[in-house]
């Protein structure tokens, strides 16, 4: 059985980590399948929004520590070679996630720990079930956030708060994550799936070219000075002015109706 499942619902693609019996603990096979699934979603013109979530009661519990303890898997004896291959910038799925132009909603249905927390932080939007938890317990396992956490946390939280969260390694409830700005929404568990779908549908209904370009500009803006970024924004805007989506946006406003965007 595949360790990553794909479920399409119109323009929304749900990518599901699929090892529920071990709380979706990461294996090398899962990382490979996830990387390919993310790239395929980003390349598919029919996909406007991606939802990343986990099967069963967890989002992702991190690397499979039982495999590691047995000298197998990513954290085992083969780490020096297998891990190096995984961590090439060409293949690592968290780099693919950060490079994606399609918006990604992290649907945090349960525990997100270790590598699973890094995956969650790499999503553009995080919606948590109120029963879900973020577990940045790296220092309790003698490791560091190896796949994005050291880059995302200071940017999302500021330096001091990032140090607090990462160095203390204490579990964060959905309410705490929301208060820190690590989650956009904490939804009651019974309403969680419907809430995720509402967010995805609302984004998918907007102009996909504008959404994609906005995400690109957000990403580029992290490494650009203001003047260079402003020039980049202007060039992007001029391209959008030529699109049919822009024409539809203006026409629908004049006609006082909901726009129907085709992404061209």
Instruction: Walk along the chain (264 residues) and give the pLDDT tens digit of each residue.
Output: 899 999 999 999 999 999 999 999 999 899 999 999 999 999 999 999 999 999 999 999 988 766 655 555 555 444 444 444 444 444 688 999 999 999 999 999 999 999 999 999 999 999 999 999 999 988 887 888 878 899 999 999 999 999 999 999 999 999 999 999 999 999 999 999 999 999 999 999 999 999 999 999 999 999 999 999 999 999 999 999 999 999 999 999 999 999 999 999
Q: Based on the domain organization, do 116 and 234 belong to the same domain?
A: no
Please give the pLDDT value at position 56. 95
Q: Based on the domain organization, do 243 and 114 belong to the same domain?
A: no
Q: Based on the domain organization, do 155 and 103 belong to the same domain?
A: yes
Distance, in Å, from the CA atom of 120 to the CA atom of 174, rounded to the nearest integer, reads: 13
Residue 264 falls inside a structural domain? no
Distance, in Å, from the CA atom of 238 to the CA atom of 65, rounded to the nearest integer, reads: 51
Do the beta carbons of residue 125 and residue 184 sit within 8 Å? Answer: yes
Residue 148 falls inside a structural domain? yes
78 Cβ contact partners less than 8 Å away, ≥ 6 residues apart: 72
Q: Based on the domain organization, do 124 and 135 belong to the same domain?
A: yes
Angle at which helices 226-241 and 244-254 pack, to 10 degrees? 70
Q: State how many domains the chain has.
A: 2
Q: Based on the domain organization, do 226 and 114 belong to the same domain?
A: no
Please give the pLDDT value at position 37. 97
Q: Based on the domain organization, do 76 and 178 belong to the same domain?
A: yes
State the Cα torsion 136-212-50-33 to the nearest 10°.
Answer: -80
Residue 261 falls inside a structural domain? no
Q: Based on the domain organization, do 82 and 191 belong to the same domain?
A: yes
Residue 25 falls inside a structural domain? yes
pLDDT in tens, 18-32: 999 999 999 989 999
Q: Based on the domain organization, do 85 and 100 belong to the same domain?
A: yes
Please give the pLDDT value at position 65. 67
Q: Based on the domain organization, do 170 and 214 belong to the same domain?
A: no
Please give the pLDDT value at position 69. 57
Please give the pLDDT value at position 247. 96
Q: Based on the domain organization, do 80 and 179 belong to the same domain?
A: yes
pLDDT in tens, 112-140: 999 999 999 999 999 999 999 999 988 88
Please give the pLDDT value at position 91. 62
Domain ranges, residue 222: 207-254
The CATH number given to whatever domain includes residue 232 is 1.10.12
Of 204, 223, 244, at which residue does a domain stop?
204
Q: Based on the domain organization, do 225 and 113 belong to the same domain?
A: no
Please give the pLDDT value at position 25. 94
Q: Based on the domain organization, do 14 and 70 belong to the same domain?
A: yes
Please give the pLDDT value at position 44. 97
């Amino acid at each position: 059985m595949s360790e990553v499942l794909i479920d399409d619902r119109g323009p929304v693609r749900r990518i599901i980590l699929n090892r529920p019996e071990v709380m979706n603990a990461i294996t090398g096979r899962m990382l490979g399948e996830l990387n390919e699934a993310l790239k395929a979603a980003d390349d598919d013109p029919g996909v406007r929004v991606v939802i990343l979530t986990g099967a069963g009661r967890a989002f992702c519990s991190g690397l499979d520590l039982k495999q590691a303890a047995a000298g197998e898997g990513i954290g085992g004896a083969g780490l020096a070679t297998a891990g190096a291959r995984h961590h090439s910038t060409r293949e690592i799925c968290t780099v693919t996630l950060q490079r994606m132009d399609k918006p990604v909603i992290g649907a945090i249905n349960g525990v997100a720990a270790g590598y699973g927390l890094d995956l969650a932080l790499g999503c553009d939007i995080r919606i948590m079930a109120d029963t879900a938890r973020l577990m940045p317990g790296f220092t309790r396992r003698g490791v560091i956030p190896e796949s994005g956490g050291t880059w995302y946390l200071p940017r999302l939280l500021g330096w001091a708060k990032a140090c607090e969260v990462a160095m203390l390694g204490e579990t964060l409830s959905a309410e705490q994550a929301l208060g820190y700005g690590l989650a956009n929404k904490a939804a009651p568990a019974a309403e969680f799936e419907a809430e995720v779908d509402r967010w995805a549908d609302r984004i998918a209904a907007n102009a996909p070219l504008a959404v994609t370009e906005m995400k690109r500009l957000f990403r580029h803006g992290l490494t650009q000075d203001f003047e260079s970024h402003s020039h980049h924004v202007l060039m992007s805007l001029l391209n959008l002015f030529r699109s049919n989506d822009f024409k539809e946006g203006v026409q629908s406003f004049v006609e006082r109706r909901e726009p129907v965007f085709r992404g061209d």
